[in-house]
Amino acid sequence: MYIAFEGIDTVGKSTQITRLAQKFPDAIVTKEPGGTPLGKKIRSILLEEGAIEAKAEILLFLADRAEHTERIIRPNLGRLILSDRSFISGIAYAHVHEGIDIDTLLQLNRFATSNLLPDRIVLFTIDETTLQSRLGAKSHDAIEMRGTSYMMQVQESMKKIVDTLKIDHIIIDATAPIDAITDQLINYIMQG
């Protein structure tokens, strides 16, 4: 089962994936961008080198997604895959940053993944006040530097995309206690 963990930065995706990997030690744990050697290079360009042209940014994310799908996801489809981000993030960030319509972005992402989409999606949501507090406690990458208003727009876009798709999903309040979220996620995985 391929599960994509989605949400803007600081919502606890990585924390929960780490906890779930302890509960499910045979799971494949991966991330986008950066789950492959090529993806690590692309991640560095996207998050560390600063501003690049918006369409180039979209295409780099798509290149990472294509490589990630063929090298990590497809070969492990018979196993539990816990992925920190997927095409949902790609569409949401590109939609808000560049204003490209969601249908066009969905077509591009279907092309990049050869139409291989997650079996389930976990979407973490957060309020802007908590987001500001959490962002204030860390250094910012190039995308986080766009500000909390931008990130809240991305979160709303993620909700819209998840609601539009016919993929099994759950929405998690990222401000809930960490242990309660872990328990909720374990139950969600065990249902499947």
- The CA distance from 52 to 61, in Å, is 12
Which pTM was predicted? 0.90
CATH code of residue 98: 3.40.50.300
Contact criterion met (CB below 8 Å) for 146 and 97: yes
Residue 58 burial (C-beta neighbours within 10 Å; 0-12, 13-18, 19+): buried
Structural domain containing residue 9: 2-190
- The CA distance from 22 to 36, in Å, is 22
The pLDDT tens digits along the chain (192 residues) read 999 999 998 899 999 999 999 999 999 999 998 899 999 999 888 877 666 787 888 899 899 999 999 999 999 999 999 999 999 998 998 899 888 899 999 999 999 999 999 999 999 999 999 988 877 765 555 555 567 888 899 999 999 999 999 899 999 999 999 999 999 999 999 996
Give the DSSP letter string of 100-143: --HHHHHHHHHHHTTT---SEEEEEE--HHHHHHHHHTS---TT
- The CA distance from 27 to 25, in Å, is 5
Q: How many domains does the chain have?
A: 1
The tokens of 134 are what? Answer: 């959490």
